[in-house]
Every structure is written in C-alpha cells, then in structure tokens.
Chains A and B, each alone.
Chain A
C-alpha cells in the first residue's frame, strides 16, 4: 500500500546516494551506485554473495569511507557529519557483535551508553525492546548461552536503543530457522507500521523480501542492476507463464497463439505449449478458445505467476561466485552461521 505513496512528491528521501564507489585495492566492491530510500518504507538490497551489499551499508553507517561519490543519510553527509548520522540511525550488522561474556540486558545498556542515552531512560527502554523481541526471560543470561535466533533478536534490540529514524539490517535472517525468521520479519513490519521507522535491509530470502519490502534494488558486481517495487521487478521478467497441454501434437498452432494480443512468446514442446503472457488470467481462456476453435482438445492448463526468484536470477545470472568472497569475511560468516546453529 505505501508503494504508490512513495512515488508521490510528499515522501521525503531519507537516504540519497549519488555515484558512490568503494575500491579495495584493484577490486571495485561498489561501483558508482545511485539510489534513494524514502521515509517510511522498507527498502531491500538483494544480491548474491560478494555483490557489495555489506560494503554499501558500511559506507552508509560510517564504518568505512567511500572512495568517491556522495551519500546523505537522514539529511547528513556520511563523511562530513558522521557523528550526526551515527546518532540518527540504528545498525544490525551481518555478524553477531554482542559481547558473549555479558548478559543480554547489559549488552543493550552498553549500547545505550555508547549512544550517550541517559541511564534513567535506557533502563526502561531496554526492557521495552527486550519485550519487543521476546527476550525478557533470557535478559539476565550471558549471551554465550543464547541460541542463534536469540542472538539475532538481541542484535535487533541493540540496534533500536537510540530511537533511530532509520534502521540498517544486514541479512537479519541469515542462518535462522523458519520460526525465528518469521518472528524477525514480524518485528520488522511492526517497526515500520507502528513505529514509523524506515528500514534498509539486505537479504538472500527472496520470497520474504517480496512480501516485506516496498522497494527493492538488485545489486551485483557492485552495480545496481534494477530498482523497483517487487511487482515491477516481476513484471519486467516478462509476465505470467501459461502451460497448455493438447491431446494432438499436430498441427503446430504456435503462430496462431502468438497472434493473441496479451501473449508475448510461445514455445512448443511435443504437445505442450509454454506461453508467456501479460495478464495470464485473461489470456488463458482466449488461448483455450483458440485451440478448441482449431478442432483440438485441451487436456491441461496451468498458470504460474513469476516469482522474485526468476527476476533475481534473470538479472544476476545463474552462476555462483563464491571465489570472490574474501577470507576474513568467510571466517566471520562461518562463525556467524555456526553460532546461529548452536
């Protein structure tokens, strides 16, 4: 519902990125990207391993300096006014950062102190956040006894302690089981709908990005390939797929089907036609009518809507690129995954 509203003039831009680049030696981890995030939306950053998602977040959260380009977060330049940016945003990083030797509540209070929050407030706020992420019962336990899901929720609570207007989440559901993942998505929706926060997140889980994000940017090799709402991205793959099976394998009526206005492409395989069409629901009766009018018999019809997966694979290609992930990152990812499973 907010998607259309965001395109209106009244939604202000909380993140403005222009030609932002980051090079590590010879590697262009982020290459000249430009995008915007509107206030109040959930903005998803999708891309394969090593695409440059974390690097972008690190620049926007002032952890690393951009090599070139400009980025404004909450109205402040990330380089010139780093401290103002840090004060206005919350960060839930990809790896676990909580101190394992401390209790959950003490971790949150420590974060509050680092933000300069007065203890009189942070004590109450920490309790509220623990309740939000359903960790009240484990608050006084050492983090080393937490499961992966509990740790992730604790990170989320830490990222909220400074009342941020904008929250960065780097793969908030990495390595979590279905229940915890669902819970995390629920918190994210709550933050948007009840607390009117803006969320900037990266993820690998496409179906969920589809259902949660208002807008998505697909990034690969440091370039943004495509930005738009999940629907727009799906549409750009070329519409719905209709598969029609016909009893008779001859004659070939592909060219007749292609004449139908809504149909964009037809492929015949034995006695099945694989048809791409813009409005599948309207196109399929027209197709079956046409087939019958030629004296043939339809035995089966199926209609599939494109998934974000298809869009994603179409834009980023199908090969894996593990070789590009650097060693420290692999180590951290392994640690994160291992702890997630513990």
Chain B
C-alpha cells in the first residue's frame, strides 16, 4: 500500500463521487489526499520583503481612523503656531516698514511667510512621529508571536527589519502629502511649486524616513515591552523635533542648541523641503542636505540590518 501511494504521488484526479464520499465525515484514508509536487520556492534574499511591508501597509490603509488621528496633530500645530501665534505677526507689530519687515522675515526664515516655513516643518514632524511607531510595531509583533512565526521561515532577517522601515516610509510619504495639501488649502505659499521641486522634497522626506525608522526599529529589536518602547519614543522624538529647525529657525536658538540642530538630520530635510517647495533662500547648499540625508539613511538602515542578524533571534 505504501509503494502504491508513492507511485501515485503526482497523480491528481479525484473522481467526483469519491469526493462526495470524502465529505461524509472523516475517512482520512481516502487516497487522493496528497500534496501536489511542491513548487520551486523563490530563494532570493529579498523574497518576502514586499509581503511583510504590505502586511503593515494594508492594516493601515484599511483602517482610515488611524490615518485621520495621525493627521490631527500636525494640523493643530499649523493652526496654533502657523496662524494664532504667528512669528510674522510679532514682527509686523514691531513698527517696522513692510519692506523692513520682509527683510527681517527673509533673514530669519528664508521666506516672508512663517506659515509656509512651518508647513515644511510639519512634513518632517509627521514623518518623525510615523517613524517612531515602526519600533512599536516590532514590539507588538514580538509580543503577539508573529515575529517568532516569521523567524521560523527562511525569510531574510534583514527583510523583517527592512519591511518595518519601508512600511513606515510608505505611510510617511502619504501622510506628508496630505499635510502638504492641507497646508496649501490653509494658505501655504504654493507659488514656487514645481514638479521637480515636489519630487525632490519628497525624496528628502523619504531619506529621512528611512533613517529615522531604521533608528526606531533597531531600538526595538530586543524588546517585548511596549512601555519601555513608549518611553524611548518620547525620549528621542521631542528632542529631535525641538532641536531642529522644524518649528523655529536655528538663528534664534542659543548656540549650544544650534550646534545640536546643525547635526540633526531633521534640520537637513527641512532645509531641503524649504528650498524646493517655497524657494527659501539663505540656506545651505541642497547638495549638502542630500549628502547628509543619503548618508543618514544608508548608515542607519545598514546598522539595522546588521543588528537584525544578531539580535532578532535569541
């Protein structure tokens, strides 16, 4: 009986009536129960990367509430700092002539519209906060066992980390685009928009998102504890935001803070988006911005992948 089965391993035509019989309660010995010849699996080191990325992305776009909630904060900031507590209004109230005012604004912000300046900062803001949760999602995957499942499959350990990074960057780009549209509706200066400028700005955001989510993901690699992870997020996020030029130009900061802001990759992304989207002047060369951002993205994601080999399993 055994040889019989082996010989018929590839044969695959259950007759209709035997299929009906099979339905009638467990006769597990029915003969056509047999796996087909296994297909040849894809063994490239990148297999499964898209599946892992898409798993997180799907959950996100199938749950619009999450998206809406994540948009509330940048919009509040835009309304509060961009409209209600506008720096431009302070300067306007100083008694200077409009020309003088513009000169002051230009020297501080590189543009005459503080609201537009802040809107670019908000793009970085939403990327920063979205990236922070890439680590959280690693923690939940560990906690609820999915990570262990993935680790028993031949998917590359680096792909598990890259999947987290890419899904976070994907969300960041979409959310940043929505924030940009809202900002324009609320009065952001769109007169400098060009296709190339927008593409360039989102490339800057993309690079920053890769670096930041790699950072948060690698900090979560060993952790199964979401409280610690929340603490880490708070510890890193707010300093990264405030010690950057996202909300205020570095010129008005004390020098020690300026020093930090000048090595903060978030500042470079803001410099780039401000030059590319609102034609801000008075800024470092775009080449410098992109060099720093590319280095940041490449170095952090490399470290993330290397650490994943060591630390994902016990």
Residues of A that sit less than 8 Å from B by CB: 61-65, 83, 86-87, 91, 93, 95-102, 110-111, 113-118, 120-121, 124-125, 128, 132, 158, 162-163, 186-187, 189-190, 193-196, 328, 332
Instruction: State the CA gap A117–B35 with chains docked (Å).
Output: 14
A residues in contact with B145, CB < 8 Å: 93, 95-97, 332
A62-B151, A95-B145, A118-B39 known; 9 other A-B pairs, CB under 8 Å? A63-B152, A87-B154, A117-B42, A121-B39, A124-B36, A158-B149, A194-B28, A194-B31, A196-B5
B residues in contact with A64, CB < 8 Å: 313-314
Across the interface, do B41 and A97 meet the contact criterion of CB distance under 8 Å?
A: no
B residues in contact with A61, CB < 8 Å: 152
Listed A/B pairs (6) with beta-carbon separation below 8 Å: A63-B313, A86-B152, A162-B153, A187-B28, A193-B28, A194-B33
Selecting from B51-59, B166-174, B226-234, the interface stretch reads B51-59
Report the count of interface residues on B (CB-CB < 8 A): 40
Which residue from A97, A118, A124, A186 sits with its C-beta under 8 Å from B28?
A186
In the complex, how many residue pairs between chain A and chain B have their CB atoms under 8 Å apart?
Answer: 114
Across the interface, do A186 and B148 meet the contact criterion of CB distance under 8 Å?
A: no
Question: Interface of chain B, helix or strand or loop or mixed?
Answer: loop
Instruction: State the CA gap A121–B38 with chains docked (Å).
Output: 9
Name, among B26, B31, B43, the residue most crowded by chain A CB atoms within 10 Å (CB to CB).
Answer: B26
Known: A63-B151, A97-B148. A113 touches B39 (CB 8 A): no
Across the interface, do B55 and A91 meet the contact criterion of CB distance under 8 Å?
A: no
CB distance from A133 to the nearest CB of B (A): 12
Instruction: State the CA gap A139–B33 with chains docked (Å).
Output: 20
Instruction: State the CA gap A249–B308 with chains docked (Å).
Output: 74
Chain B residue nearest to A158 in the complex (CB)? B149
Instruction: State the CA gap A257–B87 with chains docked (Å).
Output: 106
Which residue from A116, A124, A128 sits with its C-beta under 8 Å from B48?
A116
B residues in contact with A125, CB < 8 Å: 35-36
Across the interface, do A63 and B314 meet the contact criterion of CB distance under 8 Å?
A: yes
Known: A110-B55, A116-B43. A86 touches B154 (CB 8 A): yes
A residues in contact with B40, CB < 8 Å: 118
Interface residue? B144 (CB, 8 A): yes
A-B residue pairs, 6 tightest by C-beta? A113-B51, A97-B145, A116-B42, A163-B38, A190-B28, A97-B149
CB distance from A229 to the nearest CB of B (A): 20
Interface residue? B260 (CB, 8 A): no
Instruction: State the CA gap A220–B246 with chains docked (Å).
Output: 60
Interface residue? B251 (CB, 8 A): no
Instruction: State the CA gap A142–B20 with chains docked (Å).
Output: 29
Which residue from B44, B59, B224 sits with its C-beta under 8 Å from A328?
B224
A residues in contact with B104, CB < 8 Å: none
Instruction: State the CA gap A138–B32 with chains docked (Å).
Output: 24
Interface residue? B182 (CB, 8 A): no
Across the interface, do B155 and A117 meet the contact criterion of CB distance under 8 Å?
A: no
A residues in contact with B52, CB < 8 Å: 114
